[in-house]
Amino acid sequence: MSDSPGPLPDERRAQVVELLRRRGVVRVGDLATELDVSVITIRRDIALLSSQGLIRRVRGGAVLHGGPVADALAGGETEDSPAPQPGPDAEKPQVTIGMVVPSLNYYWPDVIRGVREAAAAAGARVVLRGATYRAADERRHLSRLIESAGIDGLLVAPTTTGDDGQALVRWLQEADMPMVLIERTAASGPYHEAMESVVSDHALGAGMAVRHLVELGHRRIGLITTVQSPTGPHVRHGWRQACEEFGLPLEGMPDVSTVDQWHPEWPKALESVIDQCVASGTTALLVHSDPEAINLVERCQERGIRVPGDLAIVAYDDEVAELCDPPLTAVRPPKMAIGRAAFGLLAARLADPDPERPTHRVVVEPTLIVRSSSVSA
């Protein structure tokens, strides 16, 4: 874009309508270039003109209501249908989905595989970007995807907490781009409107772990989570809820939100947790996530604490839990199913022409994998 002043918003929107009258169909990227504004600006203009009944949105662009192109769409295409190509034999454009996740290493690879599997079955393309659990980094990747003008919708696992996270959520809601949050929920606005999302029921998963331990006779069950993880609060909620359901004591039990194993303070935090377990008579721990649980087992063995004889351990995530000695019982979030469901929800949003389509929020249940860290051989 140039630095010279562009037309006022009303003038620019009038230009959009005039270009549609001349051409029958316009594309977002072409308009952004021709009018020297951002893709986001053009998307918002098209959304406003569509809400006023002046034009009709299609995927990647717009057509005039009642024009020959719009009439051709009336036989079955949707508001978010591909912008038509000239000529009767034009090939339908491929749907392209942008995806931004906070990591390409731990947890997220299976989610990505689920998305790609569903996209391949639908003939869609996925453009993947890996961020770093920072709102500014996520926004940079998202901006580039949206500005590319080739993205039809977004799958994103954004930071939602803190001032930066809340600002990112507001920015996402104003982007006028079909999107689904993955393993995150968010709401804002005067009525606390929710965004579409697909999440694991982490609270339920934590409750499953507690129930398993109760069935084994444990009555003093503690919890460890890491402060960096957005999953931690949900695991804690499920742990507390299940402990209260079974009448288990919470007062005096280890309930620790600590640094992760890569932090210099981790060894000290780990010693403190083990000391709390010994002092309180804790016989079982739920630990999020696998690497911290494996470190805990190793340190317990060094201190002569038998696992599971003296302390049963259940990990949360089941990424590398089976590699521990003894292999860790673990709650396994349905990562590939989450990816498939997220793509399916976004595809449904793109295909539904109804502007009043209600927000959908999908919750998928985890499973408990029982191994030797909770059950003696």
What pLDDT digit, counting tens, does each position of 177-230 carry?
Answer: 899 999 999 987 777 889 999 999 999 999 999 999 999 999 999 999 999 899
**Burial tier of 174 (Cβ tally within 10 Å: 0-12, 13-18, 19+):** exposed
Distances (CA, A) of 13 to 32, 43, 45, 177, 257: 12, 11, 6, 19, 52
Distances (CA, A) of 153 to 132, 146, 189, 343: 21, 9, 22, 10
| Domains of the chain as residue ranges with CATH | 9-73 (1.10.10.10), 96-200+336-365 (3.40.50.2300), 202-333 (3.40.50.2300)
Amino acid at 11: E
Q: Are 168 and 160 in contact (CB under 8 A)?
A: yes
Backbone angles phi, psi at 23, to 5 degrees: -105, -20
Q: Are 63 and 79 in contact (CB under 8 A)?
A: no
Strand ranges, E, within 115-260:
125-130, 153-156, 179-182, 187-188, 193-194, 197-200, 221-226, 255-258
Q: Model confidence over 140-179: pLDDT tens digits?
A: 999 999 887 688 899 999 999 999 999 999 999 888 789 9
Q: What is the pLDDT of residue 147?
A: 83
In angstroms, rounded to a whole number, what is the distance separating the alpha carbons of residues 236 and 298? 24
Single out the residue of 263, 265, 240 nearest to residue 251, CA to CA: 240
Single out the residue of 149, 124, 146 nearest to residue 60, CA to CA: 149
Q: What is the pLDDT of residue 121?
A: 94
Backbone angles phi, psi at 100, to 5 degrees: -125, 120
CA torsion sign for 27, 30, 32, 35 is: negative
């606390």: which residue's tokens?
192
Q: What is the pLDDT of residue 377?
A: 63
In angstroms, rounded to a whole number, what is the distance separating the alpha carbons of residues 212 and 329? 10
DSSP line for 310-326: T-EEEEES-SSGGGSSS
| Token pair listed for 325 | 């000695």
Low-confidence stretches of the chain (pLDDT beneath 50): 1-4, 67-90
Q: Are 113 and 339 in contact (CB under 8 A)?
A: yes
């449904």: which residue's tokens?
348
